[in-house]
Amino acid sequence: MMGLRKKRTTPEEFATALSEKLPGKLKSVVLYGSAVAGDFVPGTSTYNLLVVVERLGLNELDGMSGAVAEWMKDGNDAPMLFTPEELADTADAFPIELADIRQSRRVVYGADPLSEMVFHHDAMRLQLERELKGKLLALRGHYIGCGTNSEALCELMTDSLSTFLVLFRAGLRLYQSEIPVIKMEALVALAGHIPLEMEPFREVSTLKIDHRRLKLEEARELFGRYLEAIEMIVKAIDQKICQSGDSPHV
C-alpha cells in the first residue's frame, strides 16, 4: 500500500517553527508573490517568504537551518533573511522586488516591516534598466545553448516568463499609479501605453500551466515571437526611462 503524500508546510507553520527556534529574536515573516497576488499555480508555484530577525549571526543561522531545510524540501526557495537595519537599507538596492512585495504581501508573523518603506525614483529606474537589458541578454545566450532541444527550449520560455512579467509590471509604474497585482493583468495594462504583442506571453503561460511540450519547430516558432515581443517592450520602456522627469509610481 502506498504511503500518504506528506502535507506541505504552510507559511504559518513555518513561521511558528522559526519562532520556536529563535525565541524573542524573530520579528516578522511576510508571505509575498503569487500566493498572495492571485496567480498561484498549484504544482508549479512555490511560497515566497521574507523573514526579519533581530540579528543573523552564526547561532541564529544554525538555529533556523533545520526549519529552513524542511521548508525547502517542499520545493520552496530559501526565505530572504534580513535584520531590521539591513531591510531598511535595502530599498535603494532592490526597489523593484521590495515594491512588489509591499504591494502583494500578507504578514504571517509579527509586525509589518514594509509599511513605512520609501523607494527613490532614480533607484527604481536604474534597476529596471539594468535588469531588463541583463535578462534579455541572458535569454538570447540561453537560447544558443538549447535551441535544438524542444524540451529545453520550452523550459527556457516557461522559466523566464515570470521574471519578465515582474519587470514589465515594474515598467508599468512609469506610466500609471494603479498597478495590477496579477502579472498578466499588468501586462494588459502596459499594452494601453506602448505597442506590444500579448499572444506570445499568453501561449507561454498556457504552456507553463498545462506542462505541455511542443515539437521542435513549434517551440522555435513560439520562441521567435516571444523574443521579439520582449525586445519590443524592453525598447519602449528604455525610451521611457531616458525621458527626463518621469518618476515611477511607487
pLDDT at 5 over 60: no
Q: pLDDT-derived band of residue 23, with 50, 70 and 90 as boundaries? A: very high
Across 39-53, average pLDDT: 82
Q: Is the pLDDT of residue 156 over 90?
A: yes
Give 3's pLDDT tier (boundaries 50, 70, 90): very low
* pLDDT above 70 for 59: yes
For residue 2, the model assigns a pLDDT of 47
Average pLDDT for 157-172: 96
Phi, psi of 28 (to 5 degrees): -155, 145
Structural domains of the chain in order of their starting residue, each with its CATH number: 11-110 (3.30.460.10), 121-242 (1.20.120)
* pTM for the whole structure: 0.81
What integer is the mean pLDDT of 72-76?
92
Model confidence at 24: pLDDT above 80: yes
Query: Which residues touch 8 (CB under 8 Å, ≥6 apart)?
Result: 74
Percent of the chain with pLDDT over 90: 76
Interatomic CA distance for residues 127 and 10, integer angstroms: 32
Question: Using H for helix, E for strand and C for coil, what is the string for the chain?
Answer: CCCCCCCCCCHHHHHHHHHHHCCCCEEEEEEECHHHHCCCCCCCCCCEEEEEECCCCHHHHHHHHHHHHHHHHCCCCCCEEECHHHHHCCCCCCHHHHHHHHHCEEEEEECCCCCCCCCCHHHHHHHHHHHHHHHHHHHHHHHHHHCCCHHHHHHHHHHHHHHHHHHHHHHHCCCCCCCCCCHHHHHHHHCCCCCCCCHHHHHHHHHHHHCCCCCHHHHHHHHHHHHHHHHHHHHHHHHHHHCCCCCCCC
* Least-confidence region, from 29-33, 80-84, 116-120, 178-182: 116-120
